[in-house]
Amino acid sequence: MNIQNYVIGNWKMNGNWETNAKLINSIKSNLPHSLNNSSTKTVVCVPYIYLIQCKGLLNNSIIEYGAQDVSAHENGAYTGEVSAGMLADLGCKYVIIGHSERRVYHKEDNELIADKVNIALKYKLIPILCVGETLEQREEGITNKIVKQQLETVLQSIQNSEQKSNIDNIIIAYEPVWAIGTGKTATAEQAHTVHAYLREIADNYMHKSPSILYGGSVKPSNAKELFNMLHINGGLIGGASLNTQDFCDIISTLN
């Protein structure tokens, strides 16, 4: 399969003007030289207020930048929201949608997430659609049921919308909720089984097989084993993306 590989850093609610500059400049200086001729794309998804800073720091860099969320609304009286059009106006190319922290803390459901993916596609953004089960759901043996509902709600919505021709622009990220920020990681075999299932579902809706990334306590010590799996096309990296050495070491495993 000729599928695009990605290493995407999710800074979450971390950083400030000074530390961001140090981190970005350090990553640029320490990226593997092979990345210049690599098929792997490197992206950092940062808090809204630092997008303009990253735009300047990453000018003429092979590293791209994105946001961590987007409004489901195109414009209007939605105080505190940031629209897809605003992100596009900044030159932003990627946006994370449906991260488990948004689903859990902000009560975002599958239908709202589908609306967000739809509006992102309308403005030519690349949605990084997150799906994943809780520990309780995994122990109940309903992982496949949960991720199928999460993924199909979005893909069915897009297929029936004006954005159906852009459906292939979606990146999927499998993030088992029980492995996010806990230090626990799905085994390569556990992750690969879910990735293969997600690809089977996606291939019923999309014209070309999508990039499917793994997220959940990815670090240099486990990245190679995960990324060597056929259906794992890189990672959505949380805490390790805030450490230059760790992030660059993870990137190196795909080059």
DSSP 222-241: HHHHHHTSTT--EEEESGGG
Buried-state track 190-205, b at ≥16 Cβ within 10 A, e below 16: ebbbbbebbbebbeeb
Which of 64, 99, 101, 231 is the catalytic position?
A: 99
Which of 64, 133, 152, 175 is the catalytic position?
A: 175
Residues 147, 132: contact at Cβ < 8 Å? yes
Distance CA 217, CA 204 (A): 30
| Locus of tokens 């505190």 | 80
Strand duo 171-174 + 212-214: pairing: parallel
Catalytic residue list contains 175: yes
Catalytic residue list contains 192: no
Distance CA 215, CA 197 (A): 16
Active-site positions read 99, 175
